[in-house]
Amino acid sequence: MASSSQWERGWTVALVSTHFAASETDLTALVDAHAALLFRVAHSILRNPAEAEDVVQDTFLRVLQHTTKAHKLDLPPIRDLRVWLVRITWNLAIDRRRRIRPDQLDDQFAAALVAHTAPADQALSDARHIAAVLREIDRLPKSERHALLLSAIDDLSITEISTLLHRTESAVRALLFRARTRLRQRLEKGNHA
């Protein structure tokens, strides 16, 4: 996989060459500031780096479209740019995930998370455990799964998650508690079966 700075530069070049009315510096700053976070959001849902990169690029294309539209229609400014970008990325990734078979990429994703220095038998065991965790996360109720995935992205606070999910902060904390409890119980039950 390309380093994060390589693909960030690639997105900047691709997006600037597309049709950006504002300055190249503005777009470069936007990509530099948010591309890594948006990639983590998309990757947490899609579990495929190439698909996640496509979603991030689509996000920046939406930003370009909004910028053009906002200029023409005199739309109000975005209040919280970071949350707005994450929301666009989240929605695009969810849409793309619906078109992909849910288990299509889980084995590859699980194998990619395993330490490359681990012995083969340990790596296989770890990959199976990770795949089981991913399957159980997918079985969680939608609201709990979404809260859990967003919380796993280290840059998002409870406040930001509540804004993204249109829930109160206490509701997000409750969703996270239930998701983690349910996930722990299912995994413990699976280990004893």
Please write the tens of the pLDDT for every residue from 20-57.
444 444 777 888 889 999 999 998 888 888 899 999 99
Measured between alpha carbons, how far is residue 105 from residues 47, 88, 115, 192 in Å? Answer: 7, 22, 18, 27
56 falls within a domain: yes
- Would you state the pLDDT for residue 23? 45
Domain count, the chain: 1
115 falls within a domain: no
66 falls within a domain: yes
176 falls within a domain: no
166 falls within a domain: no
130 falls within a domain: no
Specify the CATH number for the domain of residue 58: 1.10.1740
41 lies in which domain range?
Answer: 1-100
136 falls within a domain: no
23 falls within a domain: yes
Q: Which residues of the chain have pLDDT under 70?
A: 1-25, 70-75, 101-116, 118, 154-155, 191-193
